Amino acid sequence: MKIRSIAYSKINLFLKVTGKRPDGYHEILSFFLPLTSPADHIVLTVDDLTVLFGIEIVCRDKRVPTDETNICHKAATRYAAMTGLPAKWRIEIDKKIPVAAGMGGGSSDAAAVLQMLQKHYKQLPLPVLGRAALHVGADVPFFMESRPAIASGIGDRLEFLLPGLPEIPIVIVNPGFPVSAQWAYENMNPALIGPADKDRLNAQVSAARTGNFKTCAGLLHNDLAPAVIHKFPILRILKERLVAHGALGAEMTGSGPTVFAICGDFAHAEKVAAAMRQEFPEMEVFVSGKNLS
């Protein structure tokens, strides 16, 4: 039996690092915006005699590990351990979200696996399933919902926004090389770590909610960006070119290296994307699908 799901991506419109914990994790305050494009497609095979034992990961993208280090493998292993079910599953990943790109692709895939297993077996109460998601990865609980949210803690404390956020026209540019989230956090300027400007974040959320995209773009922020851009100056060039082509504002998402820009409307976003594809033909350029509200 095959179960199918779509794993959505996300960007961070705002990312402030507020502290570093004794265990090495960083505390953040962030505005998470899920996007329907780019998105991965996941197929889970259950109750199939061709899967005799173990968890099999299949992905044509060679950058994605297919052993026990794969986060989907970790999610399925966790579900089996918490339910006592035999782990006899095949997980096929059609990768569209850029890898190690700051868009949460791995976490989203893992959330999809947990949801598909739960839909089929119905073995865990929802609070327990939520704890399983957090055990797999800090961003996984967010993708169990995939709704705009303010995230704090290590990204695990979520305040989901009320429905009704308008679609935000966004152009996404991925330069094609990975950046480790661990590297980005370890190399950020420690002087940036401190209390968040909550008024700035609240103003950005309000602007997004009312469709004031110019103000929303003017409030983009990412504490991880300076260190990553210093190492990869092409990211600064991408931001500058997006704005030169008419975007309202641009920033790096998450730990990078993906850069995104907010535009005035979707027609203009398509024009900006076309200009970026012509200028940087070796890079992946997307216009975001509908953001999930």
**Looking at the annotation, which residues are catalytic?**
10, 139
Alpha-carbon distance of 235 to 229, in angstroms, equals 6
Of the candidates 37, 35, 41, the one whose C-alpha atom is nearest the C-alpha of residue 93 is: 41
Residue 75 contacts residue 114 (beta carbons within 8 Å)? yes
CB neighbour class for 114 (10 Å; exposed up to 12, middle 13-18, buried from 19):
buried
Pairing mode, strands 284-287 and 2-20: unpaired
Q: Which residues contact 274 (CB under 8 A, 6 or more apart)?
A: none
Three-state secondary-structure class, residue 9: strand
| Residue 140 main-chain phi, psi, to 5 deg | -65, -40
Compute the half-sphere exposure of residue 47: CA atoms within 13 Å on the CB side of its CA: 6
Single-letter amino acid code for the residue at 100: A
**Residue pair 257/239 in contact by the 8 Å Cβ criterion:** no
